[in-house]
Structure 1
Amino acid sequence: MTERDDLAPEDAFALVGDETRARIIRVLNEERDGKGAPPVLSFSELYDRFDEVGSSQFNYHLQKLVGHFVERTEDGYRVRPEGMALYRTLRGGTFRRLESTAPIDVGLNCYCCGAAVTATYEDGVLTVQCPDCDHLYLTSTRIPSRSVDDEEALLSRLDQFDRHKLLAFNRGVCPTCAHAIESRFVPAAEAPFPHTEERDLYLHRSCERCGNVDYVSVGKSLLEHPAVVSFLREHGTDPRERFQWEFEFAMTDRFTTVRSRDPWTVAIELTRDGETLELIVDEEGSVRERTRSTG
């Protein structure tokens, strides 16, 4: 088996800057066809796909990939996990210019000013925001979508994708590289996007390995918490079947109280049908106490 070599990120991208090398990775991935383990192709089987390239030139480019994106075995060559990740990124359209939509009415009046909240999908980024007061409800990382004809389906997919990332962050894992993340509370004024008086603070999560960052309200960070899900279900609402922005406690800090700042202790209350659920969150965003009361 090929011994893996470590590369600086810029060197790794430079390796696949050549058209022949990028095509080798594509061919090895497409031979797998998304099923089972990556197949091994002999040199001749692989080279047969490159009739227009000289044998020595092809071998030069192939060997440049070996140890980084391609693995050499006794029987031939197969794509490495790094090569599969690169192929998925390229095939998914991450580096292409994508479709955009006109503003989409999400069926919600802004919790801050009452205006109709809209969603826009611009070059792969979904933003749900009030056009009048700029209160931000959701913004995604760049997510390629091949079809924006069905606006409801687009919103549903990207909402669920955002929840997937949220769940990983909540469990202390970076959704990009699986490294451990660090969490801390920061005042809303320190967040790198517009905020309104309905935002007091954010839970900031960051990954030192890949640089991934997340700013989330206390309420949104708890939207998938078992105690919250159970409480809402008991009162007739399944949060997993509705958009995130339909829950005011997740989109504003009206139900959040800062108990202390050194260390941080934050309380949030949800009330339904005369019953209240209170959660106490520590400085790392973890629930330390929970109580339910009536009246």
Structure 2
Amino acid sequence: MSPPPPSETELSDPATGNKAFQLLSDETRVAILQTLWEAHDPADETPIRFAELRERLGADDPGRLNYHLNKLADNFVRRTEDGYELMESGKRMVRMLLSGTAIDDPQVEPVAVDISCWYCGSQPEWSYREGWRYLECTNCEARCVESFPPGVISKSEFPPSGLRDRTPNEINEADRIWGAHRRASIIDGVCPECAGEMPVTSVDICGDHQPDWDEYQFCENCGSIFWMLVSHVCEGCKYRWRMPTLFYPSRHPAVVAFFYDHGIEFDLATYEQRARLLDFEEELLSEDPLRIRISVPSEDEILRLTFDEHMDVVNVDRCK
């Protein structure tokens, strides 16, 4: 019989997080996790014996090493008859350290990449600073969001580990794929940070939307070039993501089939096809209940999808 799921109180108890921080506040314990990670072979899940662990760490005091192992046991380290091994929680902790998210702050100066600005078609530049990836057009001053500097057409989180041993174009491609999968996970209601529930928490619709589409400048009334924006917040880790409603049709099979019927292998993850979003048309059918229709054109035919307040599709139809 499966164990009962943790209660809401257990999941939200801050003492759980405090305990994890306390356990890893000692450098010896962090060294133990790193050593177990280095000894770990994904193809051969063999625990490491105490004597070998002590030798790898260069620990002179076996009693002190055993004390720290006991502290880590049942949280990050599993003790077996054959020795010690990392639990999945321990592996995640080491992976976070290896990603550089917690400690590194690399910077990459702007460099041209082989894609096109989806507003003006020119070649943008890629750069990295403070844990964020920037795509900036050197030809236009598109500003789709008020918080972006002029010319920054895209900005997203990207772990420092993704920069290692890659050229700028390879980094940009890895970032594209990584971001596309995270966005898809959020649309499907699963947090990409902790795998918790990440429902739609609000759909913000500008009451007087007036962006300058000729210059690709945001609306001063809402601070965005996009009329409707959807927010998701994870119920577990509070991770928040906000994106235009125009992204949501990309997850529906009818849209993929619609483009395929017109000879297009639709993949919104590519920068070139992302420009297709600018051709989608939004309609606010009703506010209570909320109903939003997004029309997807291709040649002489239109695919229309109607979404509810949860951004679930409630109707699909095709028309000429």
TM superposition score category, shorter chain reference = 0.7 to 0.9
| Whole-angstrom CA distance in 1 between matches of 2:165 and 2:131 | 10
Match of 1:27 in 2: 35
SS in 1 for 2:56: coil
1:124-143 aligned within 5 A = 124-128=131-135, 132-136=141-145, 137-143=153-159
Does 2:270 align with 1:265? no
Could you tell me the percent identity over the aligned residues? 25
Pair 1:33–1:98, CA change in 2 (3 A):
farther
Does 2:119 align with 1:110? yes
Does 2:234 align with 1:207? yes
Pair 1:162–1:242, CA change in 2 (3 A):
closer
Deviations 1:196-234 (A, max 9, x none): 133112111111111111111112122232111222222
User: Could you tell me whether the CA contact under 8 Å between 2:49 and 2:84 is conserved in 1?
Assistant: yes
Find the partner of 1:224 among 251, 255, 259.
Answer: 251
Pair 1:266–1:249, CA change in 2 (3 A):
farther
SS in 1 for 2:285: strand
Amino acid at match of 2:156: S
Does 2:47 align with 1:40? yes
Residue 81 of structure 1 and its aligned partner are, at CA, apart by 0.8
| Whole-angstrom CA distance in 2 between matches of 1:16 and 1:66 | 12
Between the two proteins, the alignment pairs up a number of residues equal to 281
1:76-225 aligned within 5 A = 76-95=83-102, 96-102=104-110, 104=112, 106-110=115-119, 118-128=125-135, 132-136=141-145, 137-144=153-160, 145-147=162-164, 150-183=167-200, 184-187=202-205, 196-197=218-219, 198-225=225-252
Pair 1:242–1:71, CA change in 2 (3 A):
closer
Which structure 1 residue ranges, 4+ long, deviate > 6 Å from structure 2?
none
SS in 2 for 1:202: strand
Deviations 1:12-52 (A, max 9, x none): 12322322111111111222223353x22222221121224
| Whole-angstrom CA distance in 2 between matches of 1:44 and 1:207 | 43
| Whole-angstrom CA distance in 1 between matches of 2:269 and 2:77 | 43
User: Could you tell me whether the CA contact under 8 Å between 1:129 and 1:138 is conserved in 2?
Assistant: yes
Gaps of 5+ in 1: 190-194
User: Could you tell me whether the CA contact under 8 Å between 2:106 and 2:128 is conserved in 1?
Assistant: no
Residue 249 of structure 1 and its aligned partner are, at CA, apart by 4.8
| Whole-angstrom CA distance in 2 between matches of 1:284 and 1:103 | 39
User: Could you tell me whether the CA contact under 8 Å between 2:280 and 2:295 is conserved in 1?
Assistant: no
Residue 149 of structure 1 and its aligned partner are, at CA, apart by 5.3
The alignment's TM-score, normalised by the length of structure 2, stands at 0.78
Deviations 1:252-291 (A, max 9, x none): 5861111122222111111111111111111101111111
Pair 1:204–1:217, CA change in 2 (3 A):
same
Match of 2:211 in 1: none
User: Could you tell me whether the CA contact under 8 Å between 1:120 and 1:126 is conserved in 2?
Assistant: yes
SS in 2 for 1:169: helix
Deviations 1:65-108 (A, max 9, x none): 11211112233321111100011111122221223231546412
Gaps of 5+ in 2: 1-9, 146-152, 208-216, 220-224
